[in-house]
Structure 1
Amino acid sequence: MAIRENVEKIKETIEKAAQKAGRKPEDIILLAASKTQPPEKIVEVYEAGIRYFGENRVQEGIKKIEALSNLKDIHWHLIGGLQTNKAKYAVKYFELIHSLDREALADELDKRAGKVEKVQDVLIEVNVGEEETKYGVKPENLEKLFEYSMQKENLRILGLMCIPPYFEDPEKSRPYFAMLREMKEQLEKKFNISLPHLSMGMSHDFEVAIEEGATIVRIGTAIFGERKY
C-alpha cells in the first residue's frame, strides 16, 4: 500500500504546483526513477497508475525492460549518463534518452538509430551548475551542440534536461530550473522550433521545477522509499 499512497501524494502535489503556476497537471509526466529497484517493485508502481519509468544504466534497464515486456503502454526512458559504446543498446530499448551531451554521442546515436530505421527522441542534458562530477554540456556550449544535433537525420530533439546542484532548500534550485527554461526558450526562438520537454526536478525539489516549467519530473525516493543500498 505504501507505494500506491506515495504515488497519490505525489500526484496531488503535482496538481497543486501546476495550478499555482497556471499550468495543467496533465501536461506533466510523472516518471518513476527506478534505478536499483527490482522488477516486482516496478510492477507495484505500474499498478498504482504510473506508465513512465527512467533507468540510469543501460544494462540494468534492459534486464527490466525484457522482464516486464508483458506490461502494456509502458514507456522506458534513459535518464543516466550514456557511454558512446552503449548507444546501440540505448537506441534499441529506450523511447527517450535524456542525456545527450556531446557531439560524439550525437554521431553514434544517429548512426545506430539509422541502422534500425528509427528516429531517436533525445533531450540535451545541460550541466547547469557546471559541476565536475556531473554529466551535461556546459551552458555556453549548448547552442553549438543543439545546432549540430539538429542536423542529424535520425535524431529528434524534444527539449532539455538538468540535474542542478543539491540543496536541502529546494528554493535554491529555482534559479537553475529557470536557467534551463530560459535556454529552451532561446533555442526555440533562434531556431524557430518547438521543444516540448523540460526534464527537471526530483523527489526533493519537483514542486519548484514544475513552477519553473518542468514537463517531466523524475521521482525515485518519494515513490519507492529510501534505497537500502
Structure 2
Amino acid sequence: MTIASRIESIRLTLPPSARLIAVSKQVSSDYIRQAYRAGVRDFAESKLQEAISKQQELKDLPDISWHFIGHLQANKARKVLESFDLIHSLDSLKLAQRLDRLASELEINPQVLLQVKVVPDPDKFGWDTDELIADIPALVNCKQLKIQGLMTILPQGLSDGEKLAAFEKTGDLAQIIENSSSLCLPHLSMGMSNDYPLAIKAGATLIRVGTGIFGDRIY
C-alpha cells in the first residue's frame, strides 16, 4: 500500500472528533511530503534536532503543524517551545514550572498536554494518577501554559480489554480534573498504530500513527 492509501484507510475509521497525527520520527522528508499531499497536516517528532532539520526542509509547506511527543529534557525546553505547536509530553510539575518561566520570557502561550501513566510502568515518563491530581492546583498557576488535555502511552503486553479500560480511565481522569479545577481539557492524545480504534472508543481526539502510515522504520 502507498502512504496515501494507508492514510485514506485510517481516515475511514476516524470520527470527526479525532485528528490524525502522523508520527514522522525516523521518516524522510519525502515521506512527510507524501503524507502532506494526502491531506495530513499534523506531524509528530520525538527528537529535537531531527525535527528542526525536517522543519527547515519542509518550510515551504503551508499549514503544517508540528507536535513534540518525545521525553522533553530541561536543557532543550526553550528550543522545543520555539519549534513546536503542541507538546504532548509534559511529564512533571518541575518541567511545567520551567516551561512556564521560559514561556514568560519568550512571551508565548504554548499548548501542552499532561503525560499520565494510568497503568503503572517504570519504563515510561509521566504522572501517576494520584500525583497528577495532587499537582493540579500548582499546574493551574502556570499561567503561560495552555494545558489542553492528557496524553498517555500504554505499556506493552496489555490485552484489548486492558487497553480499552486504560484509555477510558484516562478520559475519566480528564473529567475529574475539569470538575475540580478551572482547567478545560478538550484533548486526549492516546492510541497508536496497533490500538487507535480502542482509543477512539474511549474518546481519543488525537491519534498518533506512525507505522500504520509510513510502514516499518529502517533503523
TM-score range, shorter chain: over 0.9
CA deviations on 1:8-48 (whole Å, 9 max, x unpaired) are 0000122xxxxxxxxxx222110001110111111111011
Unaligned runs of 5+ in 1: 15-24
Q: Residue deviations 1:110-161, cap 9 Å, x none?
A: 1221122100111000022221111111111011333212211211110000
Alpha carbons of 1:35 and 1:158: their partners in 2 closer, same or farther (altered >3 Å)? same
Within-5 A mapping of 1:42-121:
42-121=32-111
Q: Select between 58-67 and 32-41 the one with higher mean Cα deviation.
A: 58-67
User: Partner residue of 2:123?
Assistant: 133
| Distance verdict in 2 for CA 1:8–1:171, change over 3 Å | farther
How many Å apart are 1:57 and its aligned residue?
Answer: 1.4
Residue of structure 2 equivalent to 1:200: 190
Size of the alignment, in residue pairs? 219
Q: Say if 1:161 and 1:201 are closer, same or farther in 2 by CA, change over 3 A.
A: same
CA distance in 2, matches of 1:90, 1:5: 32
Q: 2:8 matched to which residue of 1?
A: 8
TM-score (norm: length of structure 2): 0.96
Contact 1:161/1:198 (8 A) holds in 2: yes
Q: TM-score, normalised by structure 1?
A: 0.92
Give the SS at the match of 1:72: coil
Matched, 1:164 2:154: yes
> C-alpha displacement at 1:169, in angstroms?
4.4
CA contact (8 A) 2:19 2:207 kept: yes
Structure 2 unaligned residues grouped into runs of 5+: none
**Structure 1 runs (4+) greater than 4 angstroms displaced:** none
Structure 2 Cα separation of the partners of residues 44 and 9 of structure 1: 15
SS class of match (1:27):
coil
State percent identity of aligned pairs.
39
